Amino acid sequence: MQNANNISIESMVTGASQTYTQIKDTLDNLKEEGIYRSIDHELLCSRPKLSEQQTYHTIDEAIAQNGKNYMGVIYFHIPFCESTCSYCPYLNIPIANGKSVIDTYLDSMIKELSEYKEKFGILNASALYFGGGTPTSLTSKQIRKLFDAIKQHVTITDHTEITYEVSPVSLKKEGKEKLAALKDAGVTRISVGVQTFNKDILKECGRITSDEYTVDNAIKQIRDAGFHNVNIDLIYGLPTQKIEDFATDLTKAVALKPTSVTTYHLRLEDNTTFKNRYLNELGFKEKIPIYTNDSETIRMKIMATAYLERQGYHQMPTDWFVKDEGAHIAQYKKWHDQESLLGIGVSAYSSFGNGLKFKVLGNIADRMGSIREYISRITEGKPVIDSLKMQKKDERMDSNTALGLKTGVSLEQFKAVYNQELFAHYPNAARLIQLGALKIEDGELRLTAIGELLAEEVAAKLVQ
């Protein structure tokens, strides 16, 4: 069997550490113990529910506890896209519907940022991240204005990694000017949401494609603008996607010589077109090789890992494959050190070192209404946080450990910080190792390749 670039699938899986049968057996054993992904799965570990009532008083207190002079990642949510992808769980609206509110939305984000500046005194950014949404749906003028305003409130150094997410088709118009604006602003890393090179599958996903302006054109333009640190995002497990299609995606992505490739496994999340179709439309289930016990998806995972490693990409947390580790150090630190994250914009999520987590208002069932509500509350000087939680010490230990499995939880450090042995505190750890979902490596507890397929479910079981 060959992909569109005439590379055989068999050669792409050469060197895989485990066979398909071994992985399938392990997943079946995990399923018997209740560890599997169901249609109703929740992101309990990476996006815990925040239920406590918000009070500004509490946030101010929590921030005061965290100490002045914020240091960490600052995330900006730009909720405008060319169209809404059928799998997208994030709050966004098509740019055509949102044009009239973009400028006021950006002004509102800056006002929100300035309020944090006032509370903290200093906002030191270890990394800035612009996601969404599609941040390149902004015009070059809007990009320049946004960065000029941010720099008045945030301290950025030569070491601050600045990542900007790009969708290829959004560079079709004014791409050169947008990229020049990003370069002038000091953006150091571009993350390109390719998802798949297959136009038919992209259309199935509700994404806008262009015959004249391809991913190759976009990557060339990004390189010509002087960006060398480029990540490509791919998704596997999409409707109608076969292993040959994903093999083609991997070889095409590698041919473009990105510094990293991220391969996401499709999730069916609530309030997405795909999940609704999966639940309600006869025949859709056959189109989608859903969930981890599906043979096609497992083969895709094995192939991606084996092929990318052989192409010189080193696997970092879960499905992130990096060629030049130094170029991605800030992104890695964000995972590894679980730095504080301050989210700005509608529906943005924040998480602080002292256990404080909060979320800005945003209801995916009413996207435009949420954006308008965010703007109007900011304009009127009203709070925009709609849910907040100050984690207790035990909860913080659980969430740090659960999230830490992606990069490794040091047994020694666990003991030093929490004054107890990890295996004594989490009796499920030994069983998860026995089942092949977790492993000990270099004194750290980590997900295995199979555990990565069920990262949320394994983490939830560990801290249960």
Interface stretch with ligand SF4, choices 31-39, 56-64, 129-137, 178-186 (CB under 6 A) = 129-137
* Separation between Cα atoms, residue 76 and residue 317, nearest integer Å: 22
Using Cβ positions, the residue closest to ligand SF4 within the complex turns out to be: 88
Q: Of 266 and 302, which has the nearer Cβ to ligand SF4?
A: 266
Shortest CB 203 distance to ligand SF4, Å: 13
Q: Of 195 and 407, which has the nearer Cβ to ligand SF4?
A: 195
Per the CB < 8 A criterion, the answer to whether 21 and 299 are in contact is: no
Beta partners for residue 349, in sequence order: 359
Helix (H) or strand (E) holding 80: strand 80-81
| Residues 6+ positions from 360 with CB-CB distance below 8 Å | 112, 343, 345, 346, 347, 348, 349, 374, 384, 385, 386
Q: Which of residues 193-232 bind ligand SF4 (CB under 6 A)?
A: 193
Per the CB < 8 A criterion, the answer to whether 325 and 314 are in contact is: yes
Beta partners for residue 279, in sequence order: none
Helix (H) or strand (E) holding 432: helix 428-434
| Region of 318 on the Ramachandran plot (φ > 0 left; ψ -120 to 50 alpha; else beta) | left
Q: Where are the beta strands (DSSP E) in 394-437?
A: 409-410
Per the CB < 8 A criterion, the answer to whether 193 and 166 are in contact is: yes
69-78 in b/e form (b: 16+ CB < 10 A) is ebebbbbbbb
Interface stretch with ligand SF4, choices 119-127, 132-140, 417-425, 439-447 (CB under 6 A) = 132-140
How many other C-beta atoms are found inside a 10 Å radius of the C-beta of residue 362?
23
Q: Of 92 and 126, which has the nearer Cβ to ligand SF4?
A: 92
Shortest CB 88 distance to ligand SF4, Å: 3
Distances (CA, A) of 270 to 275, 278, 432: 6, 11, 28
Shortest CB 193 distance to ligand SF4, Å: 6
Tell whether residue 137 is a contact of ligand SF4 (CB under 6 A): no
Q: Of 81 and 192, which has the nearer Cβ to ligand SF4?
A: 81
Q: Of 85 and 238, which has the nearer Cβ to ligand SF4?
A: 85
Tell whether residue 104 is a contact of ligand SF4 (CB under 6 A): no
Q: Which of residues 71-100 bind ligand SF4 (CB under 6 A)?
A: 81, 84-85, 88, 90, 92
* Separation between Cα atoms, residue 48 and residue 180, nearest integer Å: 38
Return the DSSP state at 365.
Answer: G
Shortest CB 145 distance to ligand SF4, Å: 22
Q: Which of residues 150-189 bind ligand SF4 (CB under 6 A)?
A: 167
Q: Which of residues 31-60 bind ligand SF4 (CB under 6 A)?
A: none
Token reading at 414: 């666990």
Q: Of 193 and 355, which has the nearer Cβ to ligand SF4?
A: 193
Shortest CB 371 distance to ligand SF4, Å: 14
Quote the Cα angle for 220-9-2, to 5°: 75
Shortest CB 132 distance to ligand SF4, Å: 5
Q: Of 24 and 267, which has the nearer Cβ to ligand SF4?
A: 267
Tell whether residue 132 is a contact of ligand SF4 (CB under 6 A): yes
Count the residues of the shown chain that bind ligand SF4, applying the rule CB under 6 A.
11
Q: Report the first-to-last Cα separation within the chain, whole angstroms.
A: 43
Q: Binding residues for ligand SF4, per CB under 6 A?
A: 81, 84-85, 88, 90, 92, 132-134, 167, 193
